[in-house]
Structure 1
Amino acid sequence: MPLLDATATHPITLPDGTLYRDTVYLKNVIDHPRMEIGDYSYFTHAGKPEETALVLAPYLGHGCRERLIIGKFVQIARGCIFITSSANHPMTGFTTYPFRIFKPETFGYKDLPVKDTVVGHDVWIGHDAAIMPGVTIGTGAIIAASAVVARDVPPYAVVGGNPASIIRMRFREEIVAELLAIAWWDWPLAKIEAHLVALETGDLDALKRA
């Protein structure tokens, strides 16, 4: 029996057999035209499953122009939030007050630039982190708890702080390049689980042979 079930709403069952209902597979609980989510990416929160999109990205209304793109195997801790581009106020004039949102015919500031927010594969986003509009987080990155990510994060970087900056790189540049080329997250689940020890112990040679 595989460890993961891509069709599950709540993917975690505790050792005593209790289904842990705070963690959800995002792809299975979100139906949003501006959100693209990969398999096995999860988020933990105390709301109802049908409230997940609103909790995670509260400003991404169905009429927004930007997208939130989340890769496979992303791990998002409780309290995290994506502040997407449509949350921005006009900042080029003498006031930031969003006058135009108070009338339907001017709602949305369609002249303001928007940019997609993108999260790569196998990214760990720690408790209470905030991801700001238009950021790209590279595959394999780790976002520290309470970080405010206001600029792009390279693959396999560890970042933290406000604004978040690079604390360290997880691996040497040549190893990062090899991991991105291997792209284990695109393997069939059976192959991933067959090579789980190599993934967990950092056995790059075993992954290259797979």
Structure 2
Amino acid sequence: MKKHQFNHWSETKFLKDIVTNPMIEVGDYSYYSGYYDSHHFEDGCVRYLWGDETSRKLFNPIEDFGWHLDKLIIGNYVCIASGVIILMGGNHNHHPDWITVYPFVDQIESSYEPKGDTIIESDAWIGMNAMIMPGVKIGEGAIVAAGSVVVKDVPPYTIVGGNPAKKIRKRFADHEIEKLKEMRWFDWKREKIEQATPIFSSSSIDQLYEFYQREIKS
């Protein structure tokens, strides 16, 4: 697979410009910063997900086995740092309740179990070398600290860290989070987002809410 090389740590690539796998859905302005990892987003950051060019040539588990494959769904304005691993469903053939976890070839068809779609909602930030396990949902505005292993869903606007990742704190007060969830700024038209950029680069949720009521909701 052709690698998308990064020339410097400051360089990022919009996912919409580099994703070709039909099992990956990406929103606007979400980016991958992969300089230190030197991996293609679809062949290093995202792992064990059928649908890339090579795997499509090798086999088709949907047609061959009737599997329902998990998808990776990424919202708008998501930031994914170098070294992040998003572990997907291509290797869900190991059963801890069976006598062996070894995936014998003649049992592959019946052994697969989907974990559910992995979802990274809009405005989330996934820190360097974090790992997201299959079927996890990262809520909007959430932050995953560097080196964390996320094994369960992360609520919106919450910072998590560690292995396994645990809640560190909420980014804002509950009433402010409710306003942010109502506004969903990342779904606004780009021109409105650019108009409100000075507010986004502050902590004034009330000011943003005033802008929302005046420019978006009205």
The TM tier, using the shorter chain, reads 0.7 to 0.9
CA contact (8 A) 2:78 2:124 kept: yes
SS in 2 for 1:28: helix
Q: CA deviation at 1:87?
A: 2.5
| Helix, strand or coil at the partner of 1:86 | helix
Contact 1:80 1:125 in 2 (8 A): yes
Is 1:99 aligned to residue 104 of structure 2? yes
Q: Which residue of 2 aligns with 1:43?
A: 32
- The residue aligned with 1:196 is 197
Alignment partners' CA distance in 2, 1:199 and 1:122 = 12
- What is the letter of the counterpart of residue 70 of structure 1? I
Once the 2 structures are TM-superposed, how far is the Cα of residue 110 of structure 1 from its aligned partner?
5.8
Q: Is the 8 A contact 2:49 2:90 kept in 1?
A: yes
Gaps of 5+ in 1: 1-8, 13-17
Determine whether 1:79 maps to 2:83.
Answer: yes
Q: Map of 1:59-208 to 2, 5 A cutoff? A: 59-62=48-51, 63=60, 65-88=69-92, 89-100=94-105, 107=108, 109=110, 111-208=112-209
Secondary structure (helix, strand or coil) at the match of 2:119 reads strand
Letter in 2 for 1:56: C
Q: TM-score, normalised by structure 1?
A: 0.82
- How far the C-alpha of 1:84 sits from its partner, in A, is 1.1
* Deviation for aligned residue 1:194: 1.0
Q: CA deviation at 1:52?
A: 2.2
Q: Secondary structure at the match of 2:199?
A: helix
State the Cα deviation string for residues 166-204 of structure 1 (Å, max 9, x = none). Answer: 011111111111101001101111111111111111222
Q: AA paired with 1:156?
A: Y
* TM-score, with length taken from structure 2: 0.79
Query: How big is the shift at 1:67?
Result: 0.2
Q: Number of matched residues? A: 190
Q: Structure 2: which amino acid aligns with 1:182? A: M
Q: CA deviation at 1:56?
A: 1.7
Partner of 1:24: 13
CA 1:34–1:95 in structure 2 vs 1: closer, same or farther (change >3 Å)?
Answer: same
Distance, in Å, in 2 between the alignment partners of 1:193 and 1:107 is 50
Q: Secondary structure at the match of 2:169?
A: strand
Cα deviation for residue 99 of structure 1 reads 1.4
Q: Using a 3 Å threshold, how does the CA distance of structure 1 residues 163 and 108 change in structure 2: closer, same or farther?
A: farther
Instruction: State the alpha-carbon separation in 2 of the partners of residues 138 and 73 from structure 1.
Output: 13
Q: Which amino acid aligns with 2:34?
A: H
- Distance in 2 (CA, whole Å) between partners of 1:68 and 1:82 is 9
- Give CA-to-partner distance per residue, 1:84-138, whole Å, 9 cap, x none: 13323222211111113xx6xx545564233110001100110000000100000
Displaced runs of 4 or more, over 4 A:
18-22, 106-111
1:141-163, CA deviations, whole angstroms, 9 ceiling, x for partnerless residues?
A: 00000000000000000000000
In 2, Cα distance between the equivalents of 1:22 and 1:204?
30
Aligned to 1:58: 47
Partners in 2 of 1:61 and 1:154 — Cα distance? 28
SS at match of 2:168: strand
Looking at structure 2, the residues matched to 196 and 177 of structure 1 have their Cα atoms a distance apart, in angstroms, of: 20
Aligned-residue RMSD, C-alpha:
2.4
Contact 2:87 2:133 survives alignment (8 Å): yes
Structure showing the higher helix proportion among its residues: 2
